[in-house]
Amino acid sequence: MLKDWTFGVDWRTTEECKKLLKKRREDLAGLQQRIKEAKLPVIVLIEGWGAAGKGSTIHSLIRELDPRFFRVLSVSMPTPEEKRWPFLKRHFQSIPEQGKILFLDSGWMDETVRERLRGDLSDAEYARRIESVRVFERQLAAGGYLLVKLFLHISAQSQRERIEALESDKDTAWRVGENDWRQNKNYDRTLAAFDDFMTATHAPHAPWKVIDGTLAAQAQLESADWLYQRICAALEEKPSAEQPKTDWPLLPAMPLQDIPLDKTMEEEEYQKKLKKYRKRLAELHNELYRKKVPVVIAYEGWDAAGKGGNIKRLASALDPRGYEVLPIASPTPDELHRQYLWRFWTRLPKTGHIAIFDRSWYGRVMVERLEGFCTENDWKRAYDEINEFEKELTDAGMVVLKFWVQIDSDTQLARFTERQNTPEKQWKITDEDWRNREKWDAYQVAIDEMLVKTNTQNAPWHVLESVDKRYARIKAMRLVIQAIEKALK
Amino acid sequence: MLKDWTFGVDWRTTEECKKLLKKRREDLAGLQQRIKEAKLPVIVLIEGWGAAGKGSTIHSLIRELDPRFFRVLSVSMPTPEEKRWPFLKRHFQSIPEQGKILFLDSGWMDETVRERLRGDLSDAEYARRIESVRVFERQLAAGGYLLVKLFLHISAQSQRERIEALESDKDTAWRVGENDWRQNKNYDRTLAAFDDFMTATHAPHAPWKVIDGTLAAQAQLESADWLYQRICAALEEKPSAEQPKTDWPLLPAMPLQDIPLDKTMEEEEYQKKLKKYRKRLAELHNELYRKKVPVVIAYEGWDAAGKGGNIKRLASALDPRGYEVLPIASPTPDELHRQYLWRFWTRLPKTGHIAIFDRSWYGRVMVERLEGFCTENDWKRAYDEINEFEKELTDAGMVVLKFWVQIDSDTQLARFTERQNTPEKQWKITDEDWRNREKWDAYQVAIDEMLVKTNTQNAPWHVLESVDKRYARIKAMRLVIQAIEKALK
């Protein structure tokens, strides 16, 4: 992308460019209302050489825009705190809501290339990063995001002159970072790294656009033109993405109705194991805190299957300063207006911490599928997207456990009825529970499909037979212990 | 509070305590539903000596609680990033929503006392901190929060023995921090500092409860008893707070209708000044970025007064990486369920950055007052709470500017009509605008009261006469320039 670039195709005067730019800025302002109405979220990623003019390009692009309508984010290298989460987390966290534009002054490319050049990433880690970026961009595009990626390109000589000019003025000298000189002194090596990254992340739904940064006015005009074209195209037709990877290394899954539910546990054994496992879990929690291993435990299951009590027993073994239970309710407007995994990315535990999700991202392929809260295309695509999401987590060293808390329909009926008839339990049962119960068969189909398609080796499902809640609680604790022991080895 | 404490009033056996504790834990679990129904938010702050058993006390308190219903937060000393905001920001940020309990493993007390003992706070800074804490706790109590503050107290000898015991076990040795030894070696000095802080922040709405931590079981029982009593009391009667400080150093304010609106500016002068002020603002933005001065600019004004265009001109002068425009719409459920200033605390700019609020916290005393979205007591209290809020900001070195964009009723009508009749502007006008317009007189009363009661010396109001929008834009820019110049001096 950069290696065969020829600088200096200079066919318009600065004056001409400025005139056209003024017009183009007004065109962009004119698109705002349409972007809002079409609920199109737009991410404009501006990467490029140090001192190539990223800041002034952004400044130029936003000049006529309504400030309530866009946001500019200057992305630095991750802080030590930010490094306690998977690579994509902070980038996912900042995605805009529908109808808004986010301008990024460098981002996941700058971070990755710098770390690679510094030698902080092995070849395998770098390859993994590329994969993460591809997943990120593809999922956003599939979720209706328009991704505009610009690279501001200048020659080694031009960069050197610009850095020197900045340094010679006391008002701008502080803007020159050591990375700028490092880039310039290793121009060819840096160019090769940029080129690698861009080639690997150039995709139909998120193509790179190289902008010749030699002359500021031209670069700004070209950037505005490209942004305008891309937005117009996206307004005509929602951006479409490549198909995700689908060949997941899956484990076999048993249809729910074939799972025997006759497992029980006597009170005495239960109390004995509870005590033993609590002690062991406390030790392990301590150790994973010190070794900075993060853990995600997702609970799904039928209403009244006993998720709450199961979570409570598990949590009671943990140091409360090191875990959090995250009840997942319907998405808020903020969440609804962003890619659906956003609200889970933002809730991930940091290193050494445990997050227990009481319901999870699997809502997409269960309630959202069955209630029509998303399109068929959305939930069908979600199996792969969820597998990709979980792979991001486990590849980053997170332990991921997924529990399906299983009961049969008769047990549910008995528990619902008991709740209805016990005054202090009545608040636990709502009309919605009864309505969901009527859809038992449809849910069973969806759940079976989910268990088959997302039973990956890195994040397998575990069924907790919960007709006897004691059995299910002990099984959950045992599985958590095993998974953590394995991770700590 | 601590100075006259006598340890070792030991009248119950550990066995007895454990039995009572078990019962009390069940009582606490039994309160959950009532807390939820009463929408009571609860903050349990556990402070105390290092190794006094804060963690195990929390563990004991939550044991029977539904994990979806509470959160535990272990508060460390602020990171360098967190220090880029006013002291209260990170504490305000973590307040729970209605119906939930937040347990804090130390918090604003530990932070303040440590910094004082280290010599990081001058006497004046310490006094200011105390004032911040008092404002914080009083505002929360007035907003319906129950604050339960426990201090786990142990003797110097007991602390030393505990630290040594922790150190001698390789599984717990890592838990001992240098602060624990520092406290123990300077026990008397630390005790005096704890005592000072607690005496200064002991209030009827947020009393301190000293818990004798000598025997773990007794300490846990006493903590559970106290928490239970305080919750029961709060469920009977919403906690009431002291009256806030009301003697603000106010500047005189002129009634809106007395402000002449005949100010105009010719296009030529406008363009000239716009250019000049843009340049100056860009320089100043650069300088405040380097000197790490944060700036808050709040815009309020009549519908169609020209806030949007005014903000746009101001913003166009700024480096987009260093400012953000924050449009304030109706609160989301998350926001509604917390103290009303929460959504502004969480949006404050960090050092060196500018936040432009398009509408602001003044909604409380305008739209919320007039539409009945809060009680009379709520909005009447809000003037002082807002003054306190802004004082927290300016005392932390923030520049705070407040603009009222003023037009007369006839001008509004003309602009509404023009919007209605211009196809590309129709989206800017809604039925709600017309409805609000009918309440012009009531708004005028509310606005005048607001301008009088919140026109503080540290954060004064500026009226922008906006019948001629050019005049208003230039005036806004000039005022921002003056305020920043003053702050940078």
Is there a contact between B325 and A68 if contact means CB atoms under 8 Å apart?
yes
Q: Give the per-residue pLDDT at B188.
A: 96
* Least Cα separation, residue B316 to chain A (angstroms): 6
Chain A environment of B103 (Cβ under 8 Å) = 320
Which residues of B are less than 8 Å from A332 in CB distance? 332-334
Q: Is A459 on the interface with B (CB under 8 A)?
A: no
Identify the pLDDT of residue B485: 97
Percent of chain A clearing pLDDT 70 (strictly above)? 99
Residue A241 pLDDT > 70, yes or no? no
Model-level ipTM above the cut of 0.95: no
Could you say which of B174, B321, B332 has the minimum Cβ distance to residue A105? B321
As a whole number, the mean pLDDT across chain A is: 94
Rounded to a whole number of angstroms, the distance from the CA of A399 to the nearest CA of chain B is 21
Hey, which residues does A361 pair with through a beta bridge? none
Partner-chain contact B320 A290, CB within 8 Å:
no
Q: What's the pTM?
A: 0.87
The closest CB to that of B316, out of A63, A71, A316, belongs to A63
Q: How far is CA B30 from CA A151, A171, A469, B27, in A?
A: 60, 64, 21, 5
For residue A244, is pLDDT > 80? no
How do residues B419-469 score in pLDDT, each as one tens digit?
A: 999 887 888 888 989 999 999 999 999 999 999 999 999 999 999 999 999
Distance in angstroms between the alpha carbons of the first and the last residue of chain B: 43
Does B280 reach chain A within 8 Å, measured CB to CB? no
Whether residue A430 lies within 8 A of chain B, CB to CB, comes out as no
B67 closest CB neighbour out of A55, A71, A315: A315
Categorize the per-residue pLDDT at A67 as very low, low, confident or very high, splitting at 50, 70 and 90.
confident
From the CA of B290, how many Å to the nearest CA of chain A? 8
CA of A325 vs chain B CAs: smallest distance (Å): 6
Residue of B nearest to A63 (CA): B316
Residue to mutate among A312, A337, A426, with most B CBs inside 10 A, is: A312
pLDDT of residue B459: 96
- Quick: pLDDT tens for A390-432: 999 999 999 999 999 999 999 999 999 999 998 878 888 889 8
How many Å apart are CA B227 and CA A221, to the nearest integer? Answer: 64
* Partner B contacted by A356 (CB < 8 A): yes
Nearest CA distance, A418 vs chain B (angstrom) = 18
CA distance B35 to B37: 6
Burial A368-407 (b: 16+ CB within 10 A, else e): bbeeebbeeebbebbbbbbbbbbbbbbebebbbbbbbbbb
Cα separation, A167 vs A174, in Å, equals 8
Cα of A134 to nearest chain B Cα, Å: 26
Interface subset of A 133-162, CB within 8 angstroms of B = none
Fill in the DSSP letter of residue B114.
H
Instruction: Estimate to the nearest angstrom the gap between the alpha carbon of A135 and the chain centroid.
Output: 9
| Partner-chain residue, chosen from A55, A320, A325, that has the shortest CB–CB distance to B59 | A320
Is the minimum CB–CB distance between A331 and chain B shorter than 8 Å?
no
B26 vs A: CB within 8 A: no
Whether residue A211 contacts residue A222, with contact meaning beta carbons closer than 8 Å, is answered with: yes
Q: Check if B263 contacts A (Cβ < 8 Å).
A: no
3-class DSSP assignment, residue A379: helix
Residue A330 touches chain B, beta carbons under 8 Å = no
Q: How many CB atoms lie within 10 A of CB B413?
A: 14
CB–CB of A332 and B327 under 8 A?
no
Tell me what pLDDT residue A4 has.
Answer: 84
How many residues belong to chain A?
489
A452 touches chain B (CB under 8 A): no
Tell me which residue has tokens 């949006």: B347
What pLDDT is recorded for position A163?
Answer: 96
Cβ-Cβ pairs closer than 8 A, A with B, add up to 83
Q: Is B11 on the interface with A (CB under 8 A)?
A: no
Cβ of A59 within 8 Å of Cβ of B312? The answer is no
Tell if the CB–CB gap between A332 and B334 is shorter than 8 Å. yes
**Residue A59 at interface with chain B, using a CB cutoff of 8 Å:** yes
Q: Find, in chain A, the residue whose alpha carbon is nearest to that of B284.
A: A171
From chain A, pick out residues whose CB is under 8 angstroms from the CB of B358: 67-68
Q: DSSP string covering B374-429, please?
A: S-HHHHHHHHHHHHHHHHHHHHTT-EEEEEEEE--HHHHHHHHHHHHHSGGGGGG-
pLDDT value of position B312: 93
Cβ contact (<8 Å) for B55 and A321? yes
- Residue type for position A324: E
Chain B residues whose CB is inside 8 A of the A68 CB are: 308, 311, 325, 327, 358
* CA A132 to each of CA A126, A344, A395, A455, B483: distance values in angstroms, whole numbers, following the listed order: 10, 16, 10, 20, 46
What is the pLDDT, as a whole number, of residue B427?
Answer: 80
Say yes or no for a CB contact (<8 Å) between B68 and A308.
yes
* Interface-testing mutation among B22, B54, B66, B318, with chain A (most A C-beta atoms within 10 A): B66
Interface touch B62/A320, C-beta < 8 Å? yes
Contacts of B316 in chain A (CB under 8 A): 63
Q: Is the CB of A336 inside 8 Å of chain B's CB atoms?
A: no
Regions of chain B with pLDDT less than 70? 9-10, 238-241
Does A105 touch chain B if contact means CB atoms closer than 8 Å? yes
Contact B71 A324 (CB under 8 A): yes
B329 interface with A at CB cutoff 8 Å: no
Residue B328 is predicted with a pLDDT of 94
pLDDT score for B15: 92
Q: Residue B223 and residue B2: Cα distance in Å, rounded?
A: 17
Q: Is B423 on the interface with A (CB under 8 A)?
A: no
Per-residue model confidence (pLDDT) at position A365: 97
Sheet order of strands, B101-105 included:
B70-74, B101-105, B42-48, B146-153, B208-212
Rounded CA-CA distance A60/A56 in Å is: 6
Q: How far is B258 from chain A (nearest CA, A)?
A: 32
Nearest to B66 among A72, A312, A332 (CB): A312
Among A62, A319, A327, beta carbon nearest to B320: A62
B71–A332: do the CB atoms touch at under 8 Å?
no
